[in-house]
Amino acid sequence: MKKITLFLTLITAASVSFSSAQMVQEPRATEVWDKEPVKVTPGTHGAPPSDAIALDHDAWQSVNGGENKWTLEDGVMTITPGTGDVRTKKSFGDVQLHVEWRIPVLDAKFTDQDRGNSGVFLQQFYEVQVLDSYESKTYNNGQAGSLYKQHIPLVNATKPAMQWQSYDIIYTAPRFGKNGTVISQARMTVMHNGILIQNNVALTGPTVYIGAPAYKLHGDLPIFLQDHDHKVSYRNIWIREL
Ligand code: MG
């Protein structure tokens, strides 16, 4: 009998304490009413959202000095081969970047990396490859949507030449200690034509053509677009600072 009484006492105590916990856990206790997100108006028909910076022709300058030497026609900026890369006048850290690009029709003699090659470089050093990878073959970590020689895209979402394509890139800049040590690597998420191709991957350092990448201390830097000797076109580029 004593055992039964003790058991009932314990059950009663447990249910009392459970009821008290329930009373504390009101819905409002876990609601956050401060830190309200800033209101942003989304763009319609491909237009930038209200808080984006449009990176139109005037937002860029030649890396060789002076004004942007790429052509501009009906809002479309096209590489003038041999004039060099262009870079934004403004520097950036963490960003969301939208870029639309188009590969020209090219003779079949242009193959591999020599077929509509360009590139979007975040903070000057970290390339998202632009290339005609619709049917043309190259090494997989160098095709369109690769983080050049570091990450192969999850799928090949490339469209044919002369069709507009898009990259939507989420970029987290690397963090460095005072002595240049890497606290956290650069990271990228990339959607190609709305399809996820890079999922928050870490970069092992700046993009390099030969050898192993190695980080070097830097702060905010411009976005670069690469002149790789083909008339690749760009339009509707916009950026949101994060
Ligand atoms: Mg390239």
pLDDT digits (tens, 9 = 90+) for 70-87: 999 999 999 999 999 999
Protein residues with C-beta less than 5 angstroms from the ion ligand 1: 117, 119, 226
Q: Residues 225, 147, 101, CA angle at the centre, nearest 5°?
A: 40
107-150 pLDDT, tens digit each:
999 999 999 999 999 999 999 999 999 999 999 999 999 999 99
Closest CA relative to residue 121, chosen from 181, 82, 69, 169: 169
Using DSSP's 3-state secondary structure scheme, residue 19 falls into helix
Q: Please tell me the distance between residue 83's alpha carbon and the centre of ligand 1 in angstroms.
A: 15
Q: Residues 44, 57, 60, CA angle at the centre, nearest 5°?
A: 120
More confident residue, 5 or 31: 31
The DSSP call for residue 4 is H
Q: Please tell me the distance between residue 14's alpha carbon and the centre of ligand 1 in angstroms.
A: 66
Under a CB-based contact definition with an 8 Å cutoff, are residues 225 and 165 in contact? Answer: no
147-197 pLDDT, tens digit each:
999 999 999 999 999 999 999 999 999 999 989 999 999 999 999 999 999
Q: Please tell me the distance between residue 208's alpha carbon and the centre of ligand 1 in angstroms.
A: 11
Q: Please tell me the distance between residue 117's alpha carbon and the centre of ligand 1 in angstroms.
A: 5
Percent pLDDT > 90 in the chain is 88
Residue 207: per-residue pLDDT: 98
Q: CA-to-CA distance for 95 and 170, rounded, in angstroms?
A: 6
Ramachandran class of 196: left when φ > 0, alpha when ψ lies in -120 to 50, beta otherwise? beta
Neighbour count for residue 167 (Cβ, 10 Å): 21
Residue 5: per-residue pLDDT: 53
Beta bridge partners of 195: 192
The four Cα atoms 228, 231, 236, 242 give a dihedral, to 10 degrees, of 0
204-215 pLDDT, tens digit each:
999 999 999 999
Q: Please tell me the distance between residue 126's alpha carbon and the centre of ligand 1 in angstroms.
A: 11
Q: CA-to-CA distance for 204 and 95, rounded, in angstroms?
A: 19
- Give the C-alpha distances (Å, rounded to integers) separating 104 from 42, 224, 235: 30, 20, 14
Backbone angles phi, psi at 183, to 5 degrees: -85, -40
Domain ranges of the chain: 53-241
Class of the CATH domain delimited by 53-241: mainly beta
**pLDDT band with cut points at 50, 70 and 90 for residue 25:** confident
Average pLDDT, the chain: 93
Q: Residue 35: CA atoms inside 13 Å, Cβ hemisphere, count?
A: 2
Question: What average pLDDT does range 92-111 have in this prediction?
Answer: 97
Residue 46: per-residue pLDDT: 81
